[in-house]
Every structure is written in C-alpha cells, then in structure tokens.
Amino acid sequence: MTPGRLAHRLLGMVIALVAVSVFTFLALATIPGDAASAMVGDSASQEQLAALRDQMGLSASLPQRYLTFAAGVLHGDLGRSLVSGRPVSSMILERLPYTLLLSFSAITLALLIGGLAGMIAGTRAGSALDTIIMGGMALGIAVPTFWSALLLIMVFSLKLRWLPVVGATSPLHLVLPTVVLALPTAAVLARLLRSSLQDTLGADYIRTAHAKGLPSRRVLTRHALRNSLAPVVAILGLQIGHLIAGAFVVETIFAWPGLGRLTVQAIFDRDYPVVLGTTLVIAASFLMINLLVDLAHGRLDPLVGSKSI
Amino acid sequence: MPRWILVLLLGSALALSAAGCAAPAPAMPAAVDAATVAPAVVVDATATEAPVTTDAPAATEAPVAAAEPSGGVLVRAMTSEPAQIDPQGPPSSGLSVVLPYLFDTLVVRDLDNNVVPLLAESWDEAADGKTITIKLRPDVKFNDGTPLDAEAVKFTFDRFKESGVQSPIYAGIQQIAGIEAVDDLTVRFTFDAPAANFWSTVSMPYAGIISPSSVQEAGDVSEVRLVGTGPFRLGEWKPGQSITLDRNPDYAWGAAVTENQGAPYLDQMVLKVIPDAAAQLAALEAGEVDVIFVNNPAHRDQLATEPNIRLEETVLNSLIYLGFNNRKAPYDDLKVRQALSHAINKDQIVEAALGGLGIAAFAPLPPTLPGFDPALKADELGYDVEKAKALLTEAGFTAGGDGKWMRDGEPLRAVLLTSTRPPNDAIATVIQSQLQEIGVDVEIQQLDGKAVMEAAGGGQFDLLLWRYDWNDPDALNIFLGSDRIGSTNRVAYSNPQVDELLKQGAQELDEQKRAQIYRDAEKLIMADAPWQAIYNPIDLMAIRDNVQDLKMGYMGRMLVNDARVVGQ
C-alpha cells in the first residue's frame, strides 16, 4: 500500500469513527429513559428529577451535548461516568486487558480449529471424515452462544469438574469462554477454507506441481494453501465483528470482566459517556484490525494489494 | 491486574508478531503495556491496614486476621456491582447488597417489623411528634478509627439533605427540619409535622452513618471510599469481578437480630459479580460460590434435588400488581376496572408463572406491613368470570358473535406494559390468556425497566404489570397519592378521601391508630380498583451446606453475624 493510499484509508477510518459516535449518541437519545430517571428512586418528585438532570448536564440540547463530548474526545478526555463519577478512560483501561486477552485467544483458537478442520475436509472432500467435520462445523454456526456456553459448563465444570464456571482469577478461567467464543468463527473459517482449497486443488498449476514430482505435503503447503488463504483472511476481518458481538454474551455468562459487560451495564444505566467510550474503542479496534487484515490480504494476493485498496 | 493476564497477553502478542504479518505486530504490545500499567486496581483508601492483595482466589487464602477464630470465607453471588459505595448515592441492587455490612444505621427492623436499636441506644419522642431525641451507643468507632458521635450523625443527615437527591429515601430525609448535636452522644431531630415514617426511613441501609473524615479525605469524587461502623471493612475491589469485605475485629455493637452481636466469625465475605442467573446456579453447584438468590422456579426445582444445598425463604415487603390507567378510557370507568379485576385468577398466576414462589395478594399492602388485615379479603374483587362479563355489560359493552366486546363502535382491547425481567414475561402471558377468557384481547409490550418507567410515567399504557418494594405503609401515598401523579403514582389514581387518610397516616405516631387509618384507606382503594393486587413475592436464598447459621433478615437481607463456613 502506498503512503498516499494509507493516508486515504486512515482518513476514512476517522470519518467512520465520527459516524459511529453520532449514531451511538442518537441511539442513546432515542431509547426511553435517561441516566437521571434511571438513577432516582421511586420517591423522587419531578422537581428532584429536573434538578438532577441539570446537575448531570442532561438538560442541554442534543447537538450541544454531542459537541461537548466530541470536544472532550479531541482533547483525549472521554468524560466521566454519570453513575459513578469515575473517568471513562480508567474504567475502559481496567476492562481492556481482559477483552484483548479473550479476543486474542479466541481468534487464535478459531484459526487453529478452523484451519485444521478446513484443511482436512478440503483435501478429503466427499469422504466420511469430510462429512463429519463439516457437520460439526454447521452445528458450530447454528448453535447459539449462550446455549453452547451452558452446555460446556454442564459437561466440563459440573460433571467432569475440570474447569471453573465463572470469574477471571486463573488461566483455567479463560478456557471455556475462549472455546465458546471461537466455535462459530472457527466453523465459518473451516467452511470457507474447505471450498477455497477444493477450488485451488483442481487448478492446473497444482497438477503441474504434482507432475514435477513434488511431495503432496509440499504441494499443499507451498502452493495450494497459500492461494486458498486469501478469501479466508478477507473474511477474518469481518468475523472480528461477530466475535465482538459474541463477547457481549460470553462475558455476561462467564462473568468475564471485559468491555462487553461494562457496555451492557452502561446501556441499562443509560450512562451515555461510558457507552460512547466503549463503542468508540471497540469500533476503532475493529477498523484497525480490518486495516491490518487488508494489509495481510495484499501480501497474500498481489492483485488486491495493488488495486482494490 | 493479575499477573497471569499480563503474561498471557504479552505471550499472545508475541505469538501474533512471530506469526508473520510484519506490519501489524508492533502496535499491539505497546497498547497492551499502556493498558496494564495504567489501571491501578481500586483498593480501600482507609490506609489503616495494608490491603491484602493476592491473585489466588480468596477461598484458598490463609485467614487474614491473625489469632482470631476463623469462621472461613463466605462467597456470595451478586447480579450487578455497585457503581460506587456511597449510601446516599444512586440506588442499585449491588449497592443494597453491600451497604448493610459496611455501614450501620441508627436502628434496624427485625422480621416482625419491630424497630431494634443499633447505633441508637435509646430515644425519646416528644408528645407533639415534632422532636425525636436519640441517645447514641458509646464506644463505637468507625472503621477509620474515628469515634461515632452526635456530630457524625448530624454530618451524615446534613450531607444527605444537601446532595442525596438520587436516593430512594430522599423524600423521607427531607421531612427532617433540623438536626442538632446536643452533646457528644445525643442528637435531636426536629420536624415541621410529625413524621410517622421516620423509623422506616432511618432503618433503611441508605441511611447508614458515614464517618465525616472519610468524606473530607476523599477529595476526588471518583475515588470516594466512604467509611462506616459496620461489621466489615471494604477490602479489595476488582472491578467487574468481586468485592471483598474484611472482618472488622473491633465490632461489638451488633443489633439484636442475630445471636452474635460482636465481631463476625467470618474472616472475609467475597461478593462475586455474576450477571447471569443460570451461571450463578452452575457456580453454586460447582461450589464456586456458597450463596445465591433464586427467583426462577425451574432453578428452585433443580436445587431442591441437590443434596448439599438448602433453601431458605422469606416474604418480601413488595407487591406485584396489575395497574389500570385510571385516566384513560375505558379504564377511567370503575366498572371496567372491576370487570378486568374479576377476570384475574391469582392462584393460577402463582402456580403457573411462579411455581409457587409468591403468595396470592388481595390488599394494597403486603402482609408484612402494619395496616395489613386478613379481613380485607372480604373486599377483594376475586376471580369470577361471570361477574366480569356482567360488569362489562353494565358498563355499556356488548359482546359480538366472536365474544369480543364493543362500545360505541370501539372494541375493548388492551396494551399490557411490563419489563423484560423474569418472571414478568410469564405472568404477562398468563394474564393475557385469562383476559382472553372473558373476551378481551391483550397485546403485551415488554421494554427494559427504565423504558417502562418512562412510558408508564407518561401514561402510555392501558394495563401495567409492575411492582413496588417499600418498608412502610406510606407506600400507599407514594404509589397511589394524588400528588404523585406523573411520577410514582403511575396508574394516576386519585381519591381525595384516600389522600386525606394517607396524610393522617403519615403523621400518626400511635401505631394502633396508624394501622387503623391505613386499613380504612385500603378499603376505599380496593373499592376503587385502581389496580388489582396479584402477589407478594418470596425471596429464596440457596445455601451450600458447609455454611452454618446464615439467616434471612428483614426485606431479604442476608444476616451473616452468626455464620461460619466449615470444611474449606
């Protein structure tokens, strides 16, 4: 990617982030109830509610409130939680490492399972093994996250007693959330790699490679796999979005102290600085990862690298 | 931050950078570093003792307080964590769980609704009801070492009146006209009018007495760590994970609601944040937590078959009701409200939707509050389908061939508003089918709790399935008084005669007379049918058998002073 194109891409990311913040802001303004009404008890009168709204800066007009928030962000200040009064940035920093760790491990596991399953199934298309693997992967996509989570808890925590149920106090606690989060992504990757491999393996240059007398393993790794990976990498960036959505559910079930749970609670509390802060961080990481994926994609597929970015 | 998180994070970042993609990797570890250094884990700021911080689960730790009898570590699941620990701050379920262990109130109530002394040793009420003089217990110390005195009590309530607008008991606090520290251990409260609900107000955990020095030292609002005189001290707080409370070894002023009124036997209490009810259940079964609260009948049935878990229940001071929009046609018509009330089969709701986790209600007040009277059952608009249909005919409706009711060309159809919180969905569905039985179509509208309150406050509903929780019969004024229309009187009920009685009740200090006033008010309310009382909920506590002598207190509070955890 040339520096000019990269700058272009980065500008696009900034615009996307502005759009995300505006839409989140509007969405929060549209849902009924605000932080003040969410906060006051049953005995509060209308006057008390109004006083609290003033105190929280909720009585200002929408554009005014957005501009205040945006000005803060430009100065590196995400504001303070309306509920706890703590700086949003420190609330996010507390949770970010947990979310990063869970996403990293889930992506890694998804790539491992998806890659392995896709490769085995792709090279043995039509075999019984292929049918079994692809059946399992279809299940992985179809089963809702909360259900697979409870099922795994039942088997591995309650019956076998191998793994803890909830919390984040040891590496063992990471296992179940990672598996649950990785499964759907792994399934998508496996199916994609399988069909992509099948296409590649039928290509002329593969036959040539075989004809040259190259060992099958070498043909697969050096020639077929590399060319089959491009579509898989392309979809990986988009799968990150699904992963983030899945993390909201997985973090809640396993009581994992990540950003997803912070966001969900903040939505219930109508704590809009926190929701905006976490949304911006999540959106920025999503855009960043997609940029990286596109860069990697460009290396795998020179056509993409030179033209479409 | 636990070290293993850091190690795994750096490890995975390295693995990623080693994996190939040359450009991306360096950006990530840098970001991780910044993230791991910045968040100082929030621990108590009392500085009276070094905070105990280890990465191991609390349950495996050696007892903290040396040379004390070890009662073990009790782990309780908590659905959400408080945003901050300020008794006078915005309420949340997490806050009310934590408060009673950290902050003592002037008085508490026992299970029979009696006022029991805690920080207040004795008190004297003037004959006109406008002055209450309280003698404080001597030798009580806050957890920051400062003594509890009259100035601290005055400080607490002054602060409350000034900045406690978010608190659910703010209206009660506002009735206090003046607070005076007469001497070191004597406080005098004065009122413009007699305040019969004063003891109810000050027995709520939100009215916990705060150490003035902890407020003054706090400085930045975001790191406020307020200190009380409670049986526990705030220990390590891991955001999103757990709050650890350490035993207060100097505690010697417990209320007479538990046998042990000295320091708790437990070394620590860990409140573990587990948002999902099914995960809480699994954590209890796996032994990761010792206590959970259950409100799902299926979970109750599953636990009943577990050999190592026992269940304890208590009836809450709460009422779940089906409210009618008293200002909107046709529900402004008494006969229509009566008709729909007669269509509700409460026993069926309690059985089908709650699996028995509630008792069918008939009066506007729960049986646990003064003013409730079993005799009011006679005034109930009980389940009677024929009567319901007859009343609709009297109200001018005619039944069409399909059994649907019409009046002036308008069909009788209702929107039932409720929250998404279980078991509301199940109850709403049962009500829908019961009203269907008399020929009324119901559309269920489920929103999240805050949205329901907003919509209900604006009168955007026909039927409202909602609840109230209150520890004083003044609840009737809050939820049915005319001056609360537009805020907490969501059904917009208005009856001047009832208003007058509720005003008298709020000022009547004689308990017998006060109860009679509320009985009279309830009779009038039941005749007006502003809502149909459905049930009083039962709170269920599931406890692992290695926990001994854990009790259920007033309003479902967990009493831990007698408890020990054995075999850890």
Q: Please report the ipTM that was assigned to this predicted complex.
A: 0.83
Residue A96 has pLDDT above 50, yes or no: yes
User: Residues with Cβ < 8 Å from B301, sequence gap 6 or more?
Assistant: B355
Residue A255 has pLDDT above 50, yes or no: yes
Q: CB-based contact (8 Å) between A309 and chain B?
A: no
Residue B38 has pLDDT above 50, yes or no: no
Q: What are B435-484's pLDDT values in tens digits?
A: 999 999 999 999 988 888 888 888 889 999 999 988 899 999 999 999 88
With contact defined as beta carbons under 8 Å apart, do A287 and A20 qualify?
no
Q: Compute the distance between CA of residue B379 and CA of residue B398 in angstroms, rounded to an integer.
A: 27
Q: Do B282 and A158 touch (CB under 8 A)?
A: yes
Q: What is the pLDDT of residue B39?
A: 34
Please state the three-class secondary structure of chain A as a single string: CCHHHHHHHHHHHHHHHHHHHHHHHHHHHHCCCCHHHHHCCCCCCHHHHHHHHHHHCCCCCHHHHHHHHHHHHHCCCCCECCCCCCEHHHHHHHHHHHHHHHHHHHHHHHHHHHHHHHHHHHHCCCCHHHHHHHHHHHHHHHCCHHHHHHHHHHHHHHHCCCCCCCCCCCCHHHHHHHHHHHHHHHHHHHHHHHHHHHHHHCCHHHHHHHHCCCCHHHHHHHHHHHHHHHHHHHHHHHHHHHHHHHHHHHHHHCCCCCHHHHHHHHHHHCCHHHHHHHHHHHHHHHHHHHHHHHHHHHHHCHHHHHHHC
Q: What residue in A sits closest to B449 (Cα-Cα)?
A: A268
What's the pTM? Answer: 0.83
Interface of B with A in 32-61 (CB under 8 A): 32, 35-36, 38-39, 41, 55-57
Residue B26 has pLDDT above 60, yes or no: no
Rg over CA atoms, chain B:
27
Q: Compute the distance between CA of residue B563 and CA of residue B393 in angstroms, rounded to an integer.
A: 60
Mean pLDDT value across residues B268-285: 94
Q: What is the pLDDT of residue B67?
A: 47
Nearest Cα of chain B lies from the Cα of A198 at a distance, in angstroms, of: 25
Mean pLDDT value across residues B266-282: 94
Residue B59 has pLDDT above 80, yes or no: no
- Interface with chain B: mutation pick from A2, A43, A48, highest number of B CBs within 10 Å: A43
Mean pLDDT of chain B: 86
Q: What is the pLDDT of residue B542?
A: 95
Residue for token digits 């206590």? B291
Residue A126 has pLDDT above 60, yes or no: yes
pLDDT band at A4 (very low <50, low <70, confident <90, very high): confident
pLDDT band at B52 (very low <50, low <70, confident <90, very high): very low
CB-based burial, A38-48: b 16+ in 10 Å, e otherwise:
bbbbbbbbeeb
Q: What residue in A sits closest to B42 (Cα-Cα)?
A: A94
Q: Do A295 and B24 touch (CB under 8 A)?
A: yes
With contact defined as beta carbons under 8 Å apart, do B403 and B411 qualify?
no
pLDDT band at A5 (very low <50, low <70, confident <90, very high): confident
Q: Compute the distance between CA of residue B165 and CA of residue B174 in angstroms, rounded to an integer.
A: 10
Q: What are B221-259's pLDDT values in tens digits?
A: 556 688 999 999 999 999 899 999 999 999 999 999 999
- Interface with chain A: mutation pick from B7, B241, B452, B468, highest number of A CBs within 10 Å: B241
User: Residues with Cβ < 8 Å from B351, sequence gap 6 or more?
Assistant: none
Q: CB-based contact (8 Å) between A292 and chain B?
A: yes
Residue B447, H or E segment = strand B441-447
Q: CB-based contact (8 Å) between A178 and chain B?
A: no
Residue B521 has pLDDT above 70, yes or no: yes
Q: Where does B461-541 have alpha helices with state H?
A: 475-480, 496-507, 511-528
Q: CB-based contact (8 Å) between A305 and chain B?
A: no
Comparing CB atoms, the residue among A81, A87, A101 nearest residue B5 is: A101
State both tokens at B221. Answer: 């609002």
Q: Do A42 and B468 touch (CB under 8 A)?
A: yes
Residue B365 has pLDDT above 80, yes or no: yes
Mean pLDDT value across residues A257-264: 91
Count of C-beta atoms within a 10 Å radius of residue A97: 23
Q: Do A95 and B240 touch (CB under 8 A)?
A: yes
Map residue B223 onto helix, strand or coil. helix
What sign does the CA torsion over B445, B450, B453, B456 have?
Answer: negative
Q: Compute the distance between CA of residue A172 and CA of residue A256 in angstroms, rounded to an integer.
A: 12
Determine what percent of chain A is predicted with pLDDT higher than 70.
93
Q: Compute the distance between CA of residue B84 and CA of residue B88 in angstroms, rounded to an integer.
A: 10
Q: CB-based contact (8 Å) between B163 and chain A?
A: no
What sign does the CA torsion over B283, B286, B289, B293 have?
Answer: positive
Quote the strand ranges of B110-220, DSSP E: 115-117, 120-125, 131-136, 176-183, 186-191
Interface of B with A in 257-276 (CB under 8 A): 272-276
Q: Compute the distance between CA of residue B168 and CA of residue B91 in angstroms, rounded to an integer.
A: 7
pLDDT band at B45 (very low <50, low <70, confident <90, very high): very low
Residue A69 has pLDDT above 60, yes or no: yes
Q: Do A171 and B4 touch (CB under 8 A)?
A: yes
What sign does the CA torsion over A265, A271, A273, A279 have?
Answer: positive
Q: What residue in B sits closest to A154 (Cα-Cα)?
A: B282
Q: Compute the distance between CA of residue B235 and CA of residue B244 in angstroms, rounded to an integer.
A: 5
Q: What residue in A sits closest to B455 (Cα-Cα)?
A: A32
Q: Do A42 and B455 touch (CB under 8 A)?
A: no
* CA nearest neighbour of A240 among A142, A102, A140, A137: A102
Q: What is the pLDDT of residue A75?
A: 85
Determine what percent of chain B is predicted with pLDDT higher than 70.
87
Least confident of A10-19, A179-188, A257-266, B3-12: B3-12
Residue A267 has pLDDT above 80, yes or no: yes
Which of chain A's residues have a Cβ under 8 Å away from the Cβ of B15? 108
Least confident of A202-206, B37-41, B141-145, B200-204: B37-41
Rg over CA atoms, chain A:
24
Q: What are B481-520's pLDDT values in tens digits?
A: 998 887 789 999 999 999 999 999 999 988 899 999 999 9
Nearest Cα of chain A lies from the Cα of B192 at a distance, in angstroms, of: 19
With contact defined as beta carbons under 8 Å apart, do A289 and A240 qualify?
yes
Q: Do A157 and B286 touch (CB under 8 A)?
A: yes
Q: What is the pLDDT of residue B266?
A: 95
Question: How far from B146 is each of A177, B140, B185, B210, CA to CA, in Å?
Answer: 46, 9, 14, 11
Higher pLDDT, B383 or A34: B383
Q: Count the alpha carbons within 13 Å of A33 in the hemisphere toward its beta carbon.
A: 22
Q: Compute the distance between CA of residue B110 and CA of residue B440 in angstroms, rounded to an integer.
A: 44
Q: What is the pLDDT of residue A53?
A: 77
Mean pLDDT value across residues B332-361: 94
With contact defined as beta carbons under 8 Å apart, do B191 and B129 qualify?
yes
Which of chain A's residues have a Cβ under 8 Å away from the Cβ of B318? none
Least confident of A90-94, A262-266, B59-63: B59-63
Residue B543, H or E segment = strand B531-544
Question: How far from B105 is each of B228, B278, B555, CA to CA, in Å?
Answer: 9, 34, 15
Mean pLDDT value across residues A239-254: 87
Q: Do B274 and A166 touch (CB under 8 A)?
A: yes
Residue B83 has pLDDT above 80, yes or no: yes
Q: Compute the distance between CA of residue A101 and CA of residue B15 in angstroms, rounded to an integer.
A: 13
pLDDT band at B46 (very low <50, low <70, confident <90, very high): very low
Residues in chain A: 309
Q: What is the pLDDT of residue B224?
A: 61
Residue A71 has pLDDT above 60, yes or no: yes
Q: What is the pLDDT of residue B35?
A: 34
pLDDT band at A41 (very low <50, low <70, confident <90, very high): low
Residue B311, H or E segment = strand B309-315
With contact defined as beta carbons under 8 Å apart, do B524 and B498 qualify?
yes
Residue A47 has pLDDT above 90, yes or no: no
Q: Compute the distance between CA of residue B455 and CA of residue B447 in angstroms, rounded to an integer.
A: 9
Which of chain A's residues have a Cβ under 8 Å away from the Cβ of B449? 268
Mean pLDDT value across residues A114-122: 88
Residue for token digits 């190690």? B7
Residue for token digits 């967990």? B558
* CA nearest neighbour of A272 among A15, A57, A94, A51: A57
Q: What residue in B sits closest to A30 (Cα-Cα)?
A: B451
Q: What are B144-179's pLDDT values in tens digits?
A: 999 999 999 999 999 999 888 888 888 889 899 999
Question: Backbone dihedral region of A269: left (phi > 0), alpha (psi from -120 to 50 degrees) or beta?
Answer: alpha
Least confident of A29-38, A183-192, B62-71, B160-169: B62-71
Mean pLDDT of chain A: 84
Q: Do A95 and B454 touch (CB under 8 A)?
A: no
Q: Do B239 and A43 touch (CB under 8 A)?
A: no
